[in-house]
Structure 1
Amino acid sequence: MDTDISKENRIHIISEGLATVKTSGKVFYNAVQEFNRDLSISVLTAFVKNYKTGKQKKERSPENKEVNIVLDSTKEINSIGVSCDNGITILEALSATGLRSIRYAKEVPGIKEIIANDISQKAVEDIKHNIIDNKVEGLVTASFNDAIMLLHQHKRQNRFDAIDLDPYGCPSIFLDSAVQTVKEGGLLLVTATDMAVLAGNSPETCYSKYGSISLRIKSCHEMALRILLQCIEAHANRYGRYIEPLLSISADFYIRVFVRVFDGAHKCKYTLSKLSFVYHCTGCGSFTLQPLGVVKRSEEKKNDKFCLPTNVPVDKKCEHCGQAYHLGGPIWSAPIQDKYFINEVLNNAPKHLKTTQRIHGVLSVMLEELDDVPLYYTLEKLSGTLHVETPPMLTIRSAILNAGYKVSYTHCNKGSIKTNAPSKVIWDIMRCWVTTHPVSKKRMIEGTPVYNILSKTSEREYSFEIHPDANPSSKKKGLVRFQANPLPFWGPGTRDTAMVGEDKLSKSRRNQGKRKREISEEDVVNEKDNM
């Protein structure tokens, strides 16, 4: 991204990918989200080649069998920068500068039309100029409208193949109209930047916005993804539709999910079995999932029976440390990645993208993730609970593999341990580690989690011998798996100020030190009164 600022006209010139746009400083633009835009271009490229050519035909049936779905039998579309009659239609509901839509037009093949919408008149004026400057008039149309109203206008006819929602903060207010307006098998691209809410800092706010209780746990970033997915599914189910996640990512200061939306009132009945409550121990961080529903297969009648769980999976106190539980959720507990599609993204990703290495690294980690194991532990939390020397990650992964269980990283956390091993096995492995790396006696205070956990003995000896599969392929290849802060003072930025009367920066400078000045003035008044 290159930015040039003309002092005379106060115009920002932004170059990213194959697009160059001009905008005033008041229209929202976040350079850090270049990775977000690059990944979206990669996903849309793979989506076009699969959705419009009928290549992505594999879907899991309720019986967990693969069945064929043919969405479109048109020939493969490779043209870029021109309108294709059989191409996809895209709505970017919250466009700001229009950069994302223009990049889609110039970098994604097989597009018929893109609507770049914004509620700010100033932003729409900039979008119109940028469309002309980038010579994409035949592909991109600027729209000045409320995003929700625009979506409702298209829900009966002229639906979109892909809808991109990248708001500042929570996307939930747009989801109801978006799930109605995307075509059968179409793609929703949804971003959420209100990570404090999703990561458990304000569970009551999370429930009001997403219909789920967030928890402050080490796996909060994956839980945030699963909260967003269940929210989208809840909105879709109201209209006899359901979602299939293709790719779900936690990156930088936001999460983003790419899901397909399908029709099927009967399929909506399976939603309960895809959602779970989370019991999280406040002492040791152990967690247990409670599915909202159970699907039982009848071999005689060759159909499925939908049941409710009949027991609670935990006691009142944690079996490991004796502490109480918090209850969170519901969350999406089915797989959040489609590994077939991720491979397609890797195979079709454009080579010119600036963040290609990061995309390749992160998606490679996703391919290694266990897709049937929701949430994860962290090495930091396991060691911190016991106040013990932190073991090497390779050692702990080897112990889990040597015990006959699966283990993987997750792209959400570089210290993550995602495994199908029961929590009892994890703590037994840590007990074995403590035998050669003892805990200080002053930490052994009766009633504390460390005391309660180490008061019990491991049921067996676990081997810490290095397992050949303990080191994942992505690490061996030296891929960029976990990104450091891309810029100084990076973050979600400030909200679009194009509709605000006073420039926020000017207001910020005016208010800087205001409290101190008020106190100083108060002291002067008090001093005069005492004279």
Structure 2
Amino acid sequence: MMSETSSSQQEISEGLATVRTVGNVFYNPVQEFNRDLSISVIRTFTRLFKDEQEEKNSKKKNEDNIVVTINKDTPEAGVKCEDGITILEALSATGLRSIRYAKEIPGVREIIANDISFKAAQDIKNNVALNGVENLVQPSHNDAVMLMYEHRKEKQFDVIDLDPYGCPTIFLDSAVQAIKEGGLLLITATDMAVLAGNSPETCYSKYGAISLRMKSCHEMALRILLQCIESHANRYGRYIVPLLSLSADFYIRVFVRVYSGAHKCKFTTSKLSHVYHCTGCDSFLLHPLGILKKNDKNKNQVKFGIPTGPPVSGKCDHCGHPHHIGGPIWSAPLHSPEFVQEVFDTASEKLGTFRRIQGVLSVVLEELLDAPLYYTLERLSGTIHVEMPPMMALRSAILNAGYKVSFTHMNKTSVKTNAPPRIVWDIMRCWAKAHPVSKKRLVDGSPASHILAIEPEKDYSFEIRPDANPASRKMGYVRFQENPAPHWGPGSRATAMVGEQKIQKSRNNQGKRKREVSQESTIEKME
């Protein structure tokens, strides 16, 4: 909730926090879901991390024959916990997120709310005092990258939250060094046009991967970001384990743990793949950078190898069109089901976006972990110009064929399956036989003409199965956000750091092209 306290001062209330700011400091109420979910994830991580530390200390003390005493006091939110976690919010702006963390997450020792803007740092200081959390939140006026580099050796953080405007990659090198062993990184990216394939050359320069324009571009964006984080971590003998990866509204958000181990880093090549995407029918195949082989002599030992390939011929086997090659992307699981289940079970109903958290996590728990990327119902039907089958019919056909299928939280009409493309297209051919395509639509050389010219290997059944309808759909959970009209979209960058001269120049340029066209039109009429 936002209100005006004076002509230039704004008051923002969200969760248990209230902040005040003067001038144009970026705040988007759509991001409440982001903050609510982050609170739920950090709460769960804090409990898990504390249990791991206690178990580790207990083993060490038992080995040294020391009497073990475990503090079983339940920590309270808003109260400083001396053996609690430390959190860095590197790009804090008003301090709203850090203040909410302080007031709503138990087991916290210290939170550093940092911003490079002097004005923002002053706002953070004032808002910390306004909310009475000086015991937990320490305002900081510093360059985020330098601040994290200062903590890469000593006083590393248990949790680092990076929520920048746009691309987060400039912060990753310092972040993967400043996080403790087993610590939690929360990273947001809002430059979706770059990640979703509109500018693959820019995506490579920023993330080290080629993005592709395909229906599953939002999942590809997540997987590009994860491979980028893994790449930065590997340089320092570290690697990541994703806990939860989300595409929501106009951004992506990942929650990953960071561990150390040079040997474990060797497994990275088997977690990354190039994507071969057909330009005609939107089919895709993944080709891993590395493969794992079992040692015949020692089954506990793994050999690392390089795959042969490519997995596709010069033209698509289904529609005869060429392929684009993208990636590398993260092709290992996006989530930890056990962790997501814990967050789902313990999320507070007091959170403003609780129903959406419940709905999104329910779909995440149903997603196939071993089937990267997805099709969409309308694209499958549109490619061959056939009447769109009911979603439950298509899902049933895939299940009847002996394969798995699921939705994904990223798209309402998503079809995520471990069925190979030839099976998917065979199923669509069977549907087209029962619902004939107009011959006028079958243009020579088109994807539809190529696909439908091939006879299906067998007749697939579209008989509806009860297990085709997932629990999240039956329960009627709020799974996908509708456009929240007044504040939809990423908004504009905060102007707290922008000089007055630049702001004035921007204002002068507003509508400049329309004015020029209007002037040209007036001159022409006078002539």
TM-score tier (shorter):
over 0.9
2:83 matches 1:83? no
AA at the equivalent of 1:482: F
- Are residues 422 and 520 of structure 1, via their aligned partners in 2, closer, same or farther at CA, if it must alter by over 3 Å? closer
- 1:490 is matched with which residue: 483, 488, 491? 488
Residues of 1 paired with 2:74 and 2:180: CA distance? 19
Question: Any unmatched runs of 5+ in structure 2?
Answer: 56-68
AA at the equivalent of 1:278: V
Residues 223-242 of structure 1 correspond to what in structure 2 (within 5 A)?
223-242=220-239
Residues of 2 paired with 1:506 and 1:355: CA distance? 37
- Are residues 406 and 526 of structure 1, via their aligned partners in 2, closer, same or farther at CA, if it must alter by over 3 Å? closer
Question: Any unmatched runs of 5+ in structure 1?
Answer: 58-71
AA at the equivalent of 2:5: S
Q: Deviations over 1:50-93 (max 9, x none)?
A: 11122999xxxxxxxxxxxxxx9764753110110110000000
CA deviation after TM superposition for structure 1 residue 100, in Å: 0.1
2:3 matches 1:4? yes
2:446 matches 1:458? no
- Are residues 462 and 522 of structure 1, via their aligned partners in 2, closer, same or farther at CA, if it must alter by over 3 Å? closer
Residues of 1 paired with 2:119 and 2:330: CA distance? 39
The residue number in structure 2 matching 1:66 is none
- 1:447 is matched with which residue: 423, 445, 450? 445
- Are residues 74 and 433 of structure 1, via their aligned partners in 2, closer, same or farther at CA, if it must alter by over 3 Å? farther
Residues of 2 paired with 1:358 and 1:505: CA distance? 37
Residues of 2 paired with 1:16 and 1:139: CA distance? 18
The residue number in structure 1 matching 2:60 is none
The residue number in structure 2 matching 1:382 is 380
Residues of 2 paired with 1:126 and 1:261: CA distance? 32
Residues 468-507 of structure 1 correspond to what in structure 2 (within 5 A)?
468-488=466-486, 490-502=488-500
Residues of 2 paired with 1:501 and 1:311: CA distance? 53
2:162 matches 1:165? yes
2:279 matches 1:286? no
Q: TM-score, normalised by structure 2?
A: 0.94
Percent of residue pairs bearing the same amino acid type = 66
- 1:337 is matched with which residue: 335, 338, 343? 335
- Contact in 2 for aligned 1:280/1:325 (Cα 8 Å): yes
CA deviation after TM superposition for structure 1 residue 337, in Å: 0.4
Structure with the larger helix share:
2
- Contact in 1 for aligned 2:28/2:487 (Cα 8 Å): no
What secondary structure, in the 3-state scheme, does the structure 2 residue paired with 1:184 have?
strand
Residues of 2 paired with 1:56 and 1:295: CA distance? 34
Residues of 2 paired with 1:478 and 1:32: CA distance? 22
Residues 44-443 of structure 1 correspond to what in structure 2 (within 5 A)?
44-54=42-52, 75=72, 77-301=74-298, 302-443=300-441
What secondary structure, in the 3-state scheme, does the structure 2 residue paired with 1:469 have?
helix
- Are residues 76 and 258 of structure 1, via their aligned partners in 2, closer, same or farther at CA, if it must alter by over 3 Å? farther
Q: Deviations over 1:69-128 (max 9, x none)?
A: xxx976475311011011000000000010000000000110000000001111111100
Q: Deviations over 1:252-279 (max 9, x none)?
A: 0000000000000000000000000000
What secondary structure, in the 3-state scheme, does the structure 2 residue paired with 1:191 have?
strand
- 1:515 is matched with which residue: 513, 516, 520? 513
Residues of 2 paired with 1:497 and 1:513: CA distance? 20
RMSD: 1.9
CA deviation after TM superposition for structure 1 residue 499, in Å: 1.6
Residues of 2 paired with 1:405 and 1:211: CA distance? 33
Residues of 1 paired with 2:145 and 2:382: CA distance? 46
What secondary structure, in the 3-state scheme, does the structure 2 residue paired with 1:54 have?
helix
Q: Deviations over 1:33-58 (max 9, x none)?
A: 0000000000000000111122999x
Equivalenced residues, count: 514
Q: Deviations over 1:367-391 (max 9, x none)?
A: 0000111001110110010111111
Q: TM-score, normalised by structure 1?
A: 0.94
AA at the equivalent of 2:3: D
Residues of 2 paired with 1:76 and 1:330: CA distance? 46
